[in-house]
């Protein structure tokens, strides 16, 4: 009987999983594996909050596979070394996986699968974590979109014309498994995903991890939250968002599953509800756009898209950065957001923009400082979305907010948290200490710095 490896990555689910479905359809012995390879993900290997989620998501997947007679095998090290060795030692006939779209990981996979294929091993890579493969949505000149609105207008038409097909449901009953004592494999604990300091234990009170939790959350949101999504999503004190982002990142649910759940409702709901559905779809669109940008401009995870905002543009203030990170700036809405992040591993999107604007414009600090902090503390940390979001707010990326758009935390709080419920929830001590900077003075300073940078052309005044 043939032997097949199903290599799980960020597709930690059984349903709507084309790689797993093919492995089953081959009627072979199946070896499910997960390889933790932080060196190959450098410099953006998973942060602390992401590793917490990953650990528990893998445990859930392990349990689901066990119910079908399969054991999930864990490996720690470089996939470039581990996978060929495993193929050789176990006489594997096929290796199947779902694609990763971060450029450095995609290059690794291309090289690795090319080597295996050259040695006579069947290799298959599937698209499952995006609605559109990066590079497939181009403008009329055949170039990547650099602005979201025309990108999504084009992508939405493609989506309307071709609904992503559902992958056949996984069959019930036990499957043929390769023996459980596979050489070189260890336990989930051997991966060392959880920090020794149990700071992450508090996350259990805010999240339920795994494929079943993701499906339940989507179902509950469609039944109780989608109709008012557009009107409630901007207010951080309300439960207005879907909170599906970490489930999407780890592949516990797919954007195709979400779209197939939403699309029929567009024909059944009233105008206001349809508007809410389109609003949620556009949030999926931003995720798609982020991956298109990262794919076409891979340097944007490490440096400003606009070269005018080179490293020397930003200030250096360790104390200010520490105050921002720990929610002690004295600016209520900023501090509330940063404390929500530290406590829950998540932050409301409106507050993410406010805190990012404060860091990059009022404090003048490099957006990479913020991107790295979010990367380590967000359970939904995603390289494409994180990079795009920070550069958008900082005004140095594609489709960037204009340099003169500086979120005023006081006005934002008055508009979106007028009763102070959100701030009161996360800040116990009142009144707060004096603000780290004067908002109006730091705004004027930011405008001058950005205007000066905008007038520079090749190192000389324009």
1-129 with 132-165+210-296: one CATH topology? no
Overall fold of domain 1-129:
Rossmann fold (3.40.50)
What confidence score (pLDDT) does residue 460 get?
Answer: 33
Class of the CATH domain delimited by 307-457: mainly alpha
The model's confidence at residue 86, banded by pLDDT at 50, 70 and 90, is very high
Residue 95 pLDDT more than 60? yes
Annotated catalytic residue, options 346, 367, 373, 392:
367
What confidence score (pLDDT) does residue 172 get?
Answer: 67
Any catalytic annotation for residue 52? Answer: no
CA distances from 298 to 104, 292, 375 (A): 8, 10, 17
Annotated catalytic residue, options 53, 152, 286, 324:
286
| Structural domain spans, the chain | 1-129, 132-165+210-296, 307-457
H or E element in which residue 362 lies: none
The model's confidence at residue 461, banded by pLDDT at 50, 70 and 90, is very low
Residue with more model confidence, 411 or 173: 411
pTM here is 0.94
**225, 240 Cβ separation under 8 angstroms:** yes
Going along 162-250, which residue ranges are E strands? none
What confidence score (pLDDT) does residue 173 get?
Answer: 66
DSSP state of 365: B
Lowest mean pLDDT among 148-157, 166-175, 326-335: 166-175
Q: Specify whether the backbone of 87 is left (phi greater than 0), alpha (psi in -120 to 50) or beta.
A: alpha
Give me the mean pLDDT over the 410-435 stretch.
87
Any catalytic annotation for residue 390? Answer: yes
Any catalytic annotation for residue 342? Answer: no
Give all strands of the β-sheet with 29-36 in edge-to-edge order: 73-76, 29-36, 3-8, 94-98, 122-126
Annotated catalytic residue, options 40, 234, 263, 349:
349
Q: Give the residue carrying structure tokens 């400003």.
A: 304
Annotated catalytic residue, options 314, 324, 346, 375:
314
The model's confidence at residue 197, banded by pLDDT at 50, 70 and 90, is confident
Rounded-to-integer distance, Cα 96 and Cα 126, Å: 8
Residue with more model confidence, 227 or 55: 55
Annotated catalytic residue, options 90, 234, 283, 343:
283
What confidence score (pLDDT) does residue 458 get?
Answer: 39
What confidence score (pLDDT) does residue 456 get?
Answer: 52
Mean pLDDT, all residues of the chain: 92
Residue 172 CB-half CA count within 13 A:
0
User: Phi then psi for 339, rounded to 5 degrees?
Assistant: -75, -35
The per-residue pLDDT for range 362-394, each reduced to its tens digit, is: 999 999 999 999 999 999 999 999 999 999 999
The CATH number given to 132-165+210-296 is 1.25.40.80
Any catalytic annotation for residue 286? Answer: yes
């Amino acid at each position: 009987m043939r032997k097949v490896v199903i290599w799980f990555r960020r597709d930690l689910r059984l349903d709507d999983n084309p790689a797993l479905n093919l492995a089953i359809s081959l009627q072979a012995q199946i070896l499910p594996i997960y390889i933790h390879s932080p060196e190959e993900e450098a410099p953006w290997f998973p942060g602390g909050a992401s590793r917490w989620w990953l650990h528990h998501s893998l445990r859930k997947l392990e349990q689901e596979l066990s119910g079908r007679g399969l054991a999930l095998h864990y490996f720690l090290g470089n996939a470039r070394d581990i996978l060929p060795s495993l193929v050789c030692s176990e006489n594997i006939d096929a290796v199947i996986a779902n694609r990763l779209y971060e450029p450095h990981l995609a290059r690794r996979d291309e090289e690795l699968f090319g080597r295996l294929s050259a040695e006579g091993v069947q290799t298959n890579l599937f698209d499952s974590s995006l609605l559109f493969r990066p590079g497939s949505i181009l403008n009329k000149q055949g170039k990547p979109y650099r602005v979201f609105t025309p990108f999504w207008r084009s992508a939405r038409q493609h989506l309307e014309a071709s609904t992503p097909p559902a992958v056949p449901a996984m069959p019930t009953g036990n499957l043929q498994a390769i023996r459980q004592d596979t050489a070189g494999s260890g336990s989930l604990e051997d991966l060392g995903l959880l920090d020794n300091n149990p700071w992450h234990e508090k996350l259990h009170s805010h999240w339920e991890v795994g494929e079943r939790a993701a499906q339940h959350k989507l179902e509950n949101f469609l039944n109780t939250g989608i109709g008012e999504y557009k009107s409630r999503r901007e207010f951080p004190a309300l439960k207005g968002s879907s909170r599906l982002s970490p489930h999407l990142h780890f592949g516990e649910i797919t954007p195709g599953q979400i779209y197939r759940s939403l699309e029929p409702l567009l024909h059944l709901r009233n105008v206001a509800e349809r508007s809410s559905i389109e609003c949620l779809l556009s949030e999926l669109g931003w995720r798609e756009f982020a991956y298109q940008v990262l794919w076409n401009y891979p340097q944007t995870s490490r440096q400003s898209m606009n070269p005018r905002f080179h490293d020397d543009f930003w200030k250096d203030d360790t104390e200010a950065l520490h105050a921002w990170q720990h929610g002690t700036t004295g600016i209520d809405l900023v501090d509330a957001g940063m404390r929500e992040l530290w406590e829950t591993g998540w932050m409301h999107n409106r507050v993410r923009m406010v805190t990012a604007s404060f860091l990059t414009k009022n404090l003048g600090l490099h957006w990479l400082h913020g991107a790295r902090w979010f990367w380590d503390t967000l359970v939904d940390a995603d390289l494409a979305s994180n990079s795009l979001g920070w550069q958008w707010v900082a005004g140095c990326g594609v489709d960037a907010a204009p340099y003169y758009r500086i979120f005023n935390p006081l006005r934002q709080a008055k508009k979106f948290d007028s009763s102070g419920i959100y701030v009161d929830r996360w800040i116990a001590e009142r009144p707060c200490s004096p603000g780290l900077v004067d908002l109006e003075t730091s705004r004027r300073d930011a405008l001058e710095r950005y205007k000066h940078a905008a007038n520079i052309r090749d190192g000389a005044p324009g």
